[in-house]
Amino acid sequence: EVQLVQSGAEVKKPGESLKISCKGSGYSFTDYWIGWVRQMPGKGLEWMGIIYPHDSDTRYRPSFQGQVTISADKSINTAYLQWSSLRASDTAMYYCVRRYCTSTSCSFDPWGQGTLVTVSS
């Protein structure tokens, strides 16, 4: 079964750092891009950026550039999303998702179960 399993919920204070993870299994992890998606409370899905684990080629949505860092360790089939200094506005559910491409099209599948990040003093 192809799946992405994310690390557990986090509660942090403003200014703290954080790194959450997304481990892939059931497929060749280095063959597919992994994206990160933010969902703020009661809101829709926002694309943050994407990484190709094979060579760690990373692209950020402009509004997230410099705010987060996306990385991957292909030796353990894991992608990461990290913050150096959290803000209350980072409180959200974060999903990782595989960009699955066939010979004709791409879609986002599967999704991780989500990691809830709460930032509060």
Using CB under 8 A, list all residues that contact another protein: 35, 37, 44-47, 49-50, 59-62, 95, 97, 99, 102, 104-114
CA distances for 84 relative to 39, 41, 100, angstroms = 20, 22, 30
Q: For residues 85 and 89, which CB has a smaller minimum distance to another protein in the complex?
A: 89
* Rg (the chain; Cα; Å): 14
Q: At its nearest, how many Å lie between another protein and the CB of residue 44? A: 4
Strand partners, 35: 50, 97
Q: At its nearest, how many Å lie between another protein and the CB of residue 2? A: 11
d(CA 106, CA 121) in angstroms, rounded, equals 41
Q: For residues 49 and 53, which CB has a smaller minimum distance to another protein in the complex?
A: 49
State the first-to-last Cα distance of the chain, in angstroms, to the nearest integer: 40
d(CA 16, CA 18) in angstroms, rounded, equals 7
Q: For residues 41 and 121, which CB has a smaller minimum distance to another protein in the complex?
A: 41
Q: For residues 104 and 121, which CB has a smaller minimum distance to another protein in the complex?
A: 104
Q: At its nearest, how many Å lie between another protein and the CB of residue 57? A: 9
Q: At its nearest, how many Å lie between another protein and the CB of residue 92? A: 13
